[in-house]
Amino acid sequence: AVRADTKDDMQDCGRLGDTGDWHATIEACSKVLQHDDLSNDDRALALTARSRAYFYAGDAGRAAENADTAIQLKDNYVARLISGKLYDRKGDHDRAIKEYDRAIQLEPEGADAYAGRGHAYRAKGDARVTFREYHGDTLVPLSTKATLHSHDAAECEREAFITLSGTCSVTDDGT
C-alpha cells in the first residue's frame, strides 16, 4: 500500500509540473522517487514529470535519462514526446519520427506528437508528409482540434500549424 506522504508528494510532483516552475518540479519529483513504496506505474509518472521539467529547464541529458527510464517502466505518451523532441533537437529526425509515431500510437489525439512529427519531416525536407501532418488527411484526423499554449511566441507560431482548426496562445506562465 502507498503511504499518505507518498501520495502527497506525488500530488506535488504533478501539480508543480503544471505551474511551469521546472526547478520546483524537479525537486518535488526527486523527492517522490526516494519513496520505497512506489509502484512501477507511479515511478514512471514521476520520472516522466521530472523528464519534462528537465527538458524545459534546459537539461537535455537528464531529460533523456528520465524519459528512457520511464519508458522502460511504463511506456507513455509524454515520455515519448520528450524523447522525440530531444532527438529532433539533436538533428536525428528519423529517430524523432519513430518516437513521435510511438507517442501517437499511445495517444492518437495527442496533437503535440503530430506537430513534432511534422516538424521532424519538415526538417528532413519532406514537404509532402509535412503538409499531411499539418493539414490533416489520413495521418491527422480532421476531427483533431488543438489548442496549444506556450511561453515562447516563436514555438507557439510553429506549433499552431497542426491542423486547420489548431489555435495557439502565448502565456507568461509557460502553460
Q: What is the DSSP string of the chain?
A: ---HHHHHHHHHHHHHHTTT-HHHHHHHHHHHHT-TT--HHHHHHHHHHHHHHHHHHT-HHHHHHHHHHHHHHS--HHHHHHHHHHHHHHT-HHHHHHHHHHHHHH-TT-HHHHHHHHHHHHHHT-HHHHHHHHH-SSSS-TT---EEEES-HHHHHHHTTSSTT-EEEE-SS--
Nearest partner of 87 among 78, 98, 74, 76, judged by Cα: 98
pLDDT band at 173 (very low <50, low <70, confident <90, very high): very low
Does residue 68 or residue 5 have the better pLDDT? 68
Instruction: Answer for the pair 111, 150: CB distance below 8 angstroms, yes or no.
Output: no
Does residue 157 or residue 20 have the better pLDDT? 20
Whether the pLDDT of residue 14 is over 50: the answer is yes
Q: Give the pLDDT confidence score for residue 144 in this predicted structure.
A: 39
Calculate Rg over the CA atoms of the chain: 17
Instruction: Answer for the pair 17, 32: CB distance below 8 angstroms, yes or no.
Output: no
pLDDT band at 5 (very low <50, low <70, confident <90, very high): confident
Q: Give the pLDDT confidence score for residue 151 in this predicted structure.
A: 46
pLDDT band at 4 (very low <50, low <70, confident <90, very high): confident
Q: Give the pLDDT confidence score for residue 167 in this predicted structure.
A: 47
Q: Give the pLDDT confidence score for residue 133 in this predicted structure.
A: 57
Does residue 156 or residue 91 have the better pLDDT? 91
Q: What Cα–Cα distance (Å) separates residue 119 from each residue in 61, 128, 133, 134, 152?
A: 22, 12, 9, 9, 16
Q: What percent of the chain has pLDDT over 90?
A: 54
- Average pLDDT of the chain to the nearest whole number: 80
For the whole model, what pTM was predicted?
A: 0.74
* Residues 114-152: tens digit of each pLDDT: 889 988 988 888 766 655 555 544 444 333 344 444 444
**Using CA atoms, how far apart are residues 26 and 8, in angstroms rounded to an integer?**
15
Q: Give the pLDDT confidence score for residue 28 in this predicted structure.
A: 95
What's the average model confidence in pLDDT over 68-76? Answer: 97
